[in-house]
Amino acid sequence: MVDIGAYEYVSESEIHAEGLRYMMEIAFSEEDTVPVDFYVGLATNPFLEESDTVAELTEVTGTGYSRQAVKSSDVGFTISDFTTTYGVRLDTVTFTASAADWDAAKLAFISTSDVVGLLITSAPLSITVTVGSGETMTVSMGIKL
């Protein structure tokens, strides 16, 4: 198995409107509950707008591709104080192509489900990446307020 490297997002991640509403519902109204896991996925979109949802994603396809689970706890996320802002960084996740090359990924995102769910945040990768058969790719991202 070949690791083609780790990729970080290029700029600040976009917190999507439905993701912000979801976080506010959890924190302030208890209208929703925190899922056991959040999910990191890859998309071929070069960027998404704040108002976009999971429906606007063109998710990567290929044998072995699936969104990767990250525990919704201090095990999967680290809160950081950046003096004037706060941020959260998630554990690095690994994607592995098993039998064929995947579509070229241009964006990483976090959602509330491994299938559809709510789009919390997205960020462009530092470069467009095609994960080839037998290769792995690691992604690290976060949210800064």
DSSP 88-143: EEEPPEEEE--SSPPPPEEEEEEESSSSS--EEEEEEEEEEE-PPTTEEEEEE-EE
- Strand 77-81's sheet: what is its strand order? 77-81, 86-90, 142-144
pTM: 0.83
- Give the dihedral sign, CA 24/22/38/124: negative
Q: Range of 121's domain?
A: 2-144
Q: Tens-digit pLDDT profile for the chain (145 aa)? A: 445 555 544 445 778 888 888 878 877 777 777 888 999 999 999 989 999 999 999 999 999 999 999 988 766 676 676 666 667 777 788 999 988 899 999 999 999 999 989 999 898 888 899 999 889 898 888 777 6
- Our count of domains for the chain comes to 1
